[in-house]
Amino acid sequence: MRLLKNVAWWQWLLAAGVVVGLLGGAYYSNRLSNAVYTSASEVLMTGQSDPNQPDTAYTSNQYVNQRMTTYAQIASSAQVTAPAAQALGVDPATLATQITATVAGDTTVLKLQVTGPNPETARRNAVAVTQSFINAITKLETIPGGASRVVVNVITDPTTPPARSAPGLWLLLIGGFFGGLVLAVIAILVLRWLYPKRFPVQLRREKKRPVGEETSRMQPVTQPDKNTWVP
């Protein structure tokens, strides 16, 4: 305990900065090692009209436009995830959490985004989900004994996300060490500048006494008198 009391406040701050820097480097390394990659594709939803009745084209497109939100919800439903998961050999519930479908503005274009632990897996998942989505919409919109009321066309194939080059753990720890040290030094300087009396920095050095000074304190040795008789 006496040793801890002799540690100055700025030394504690330096130690805390180094520890925080090391923890930050380890955390950042863990985040990079667990990076998530996203592959995206776009599909165009078009209403199927009767060629013999031109007026039905507007009605068909209006029908699709009103159902775009529903189509986005279907993208992560079991009707899409079950066949896609079977083709990929993964769990349907897990695959459903990796799918995001959004409508591109006031259009009939649906953007499908599927994640994965690496670029190749993300693209493979996106290909399976996109194809399963097309099959599900075609099946849902097909009239018994007739054709599908909605045609789904892929206008952007699933992309391959770029790979990320993550630095090694040791490099991030070294960077965190020096980063925390620099921040601690800056904090010390700021505290010294704002509160010079409250946060003094004293570098104590013990002065060594000269050898002559130490020996001068010794009691001199008296020599026996030559005239004194010793029995």
- Among residues 102, 131, 156, the one where a domain terminates is 156
In a domain, 1, yes or no: no
- The pLDDT assigned to 192 comes to 77
Residue 51 counted as domain residue: yes
Residue 128 lies inside a defined structural domain of this protein: yes
Better-scored residue on pLDDT, 22 or 49: 22
83 and 43 within one domain: yes
Does 205 reside within a domain?
no
106-144 pLDDT, tens per residue? 899 999 999 998 899 999 999 999 999 999 999 999 988
Distance CA 29, CA 171 (A): 9
CATH number at residue 148: 3.30.70.1130
Mean pLDDT of 35-62: 77
Q: Which domain holds residue 140?
A: 36-156
Examine residue 230 and state whether it is found in any structural domain, yes or no: no
Query: Do 83 and 47 belong together in one domain?
Result: yes
Comparing 12-16, 46-50, 105-109, 135-139, the range with the smallest average pLDDT is 46-50
Mean pLDDT confidence for 22-45 = 81
Q: Are 88 and 42 part of one and the same domain?
A: yes
Mean pLDDT of the chain: 80
The dihedral over CA atoms of 2, 3, 8, 13, expressed in degrees to the nearest 10, equals: -120
Domain count, the chain: 2
Pairing of strands 99-103, 37-47: unpaired
Poorest-pLDDT segment among 16-30, 92-106, 195-209? 195-209
Statement to judge: residues 139 and 49 lie in one domain: yes
Residues 42 and 151 in one domain: yes
Mean pLDDT in residue range 18-45: 82
Is there a single domain that holds both residue 119 and residue 178?
Answer: no
Residue 48 lies inside a defined structural domain of this protein = yes
Q: Domain end: 132, 156, 180, which one?
A: 156
* pLDDT at residue 3, rounded to an integer: 45
User: Which is more confidently placed, 8 or 138?
Assistant: 138
Residue 121 shares a structural domain with residue 20 = no
Asked whether residue 46 is assigned to any structural domain, the reply reads: yes
Residue 8's alpha-carbon distances to 14, 60, 166, 179, 209, in angstroms, are 10, 78, 38, 21, 25
Cα separation, 58 vs 43, in Å, equals 20
Residue 4 lies in a domain: no
What is the separation of C-alpha 21 from the centre of its chain, rounded to a whole number of angstroms? 17
- The reply to whether 185 and 73 lie within a common domain is no
Q: Are residues 183 and 112 in the same domain?
A: no
End-to-end C-alpha distance for the chain, whole angstroms: 59
Tell me the per-residue pLDDT of 51-86, one tens digit each, with 9 for 90 and over. Answer: 555 555 557 778 888 999 999 999 999 999 999 999
In this structure, the answer to whether residues 43 and 146 fall within a common structural domain is yes
Cα–Cα distance measured from residue 139 to residue 160, given in angstroms and rounded to the nearest whole number: 28
**Is residue 101 located within the same domain as residue 135?**
yes
Q: What type of residue is 4?
A: L
In terms of domains, do 101 and 180 share one? no
What is the pTM (predicted TM-score) of this model?
A: 0.60
- Please report how many Cα atoms fall inside a 13 Å half-sphere around the Cα of residue 214, on the Cβ side: 4
CB 211 within 8 A of CB 44: no
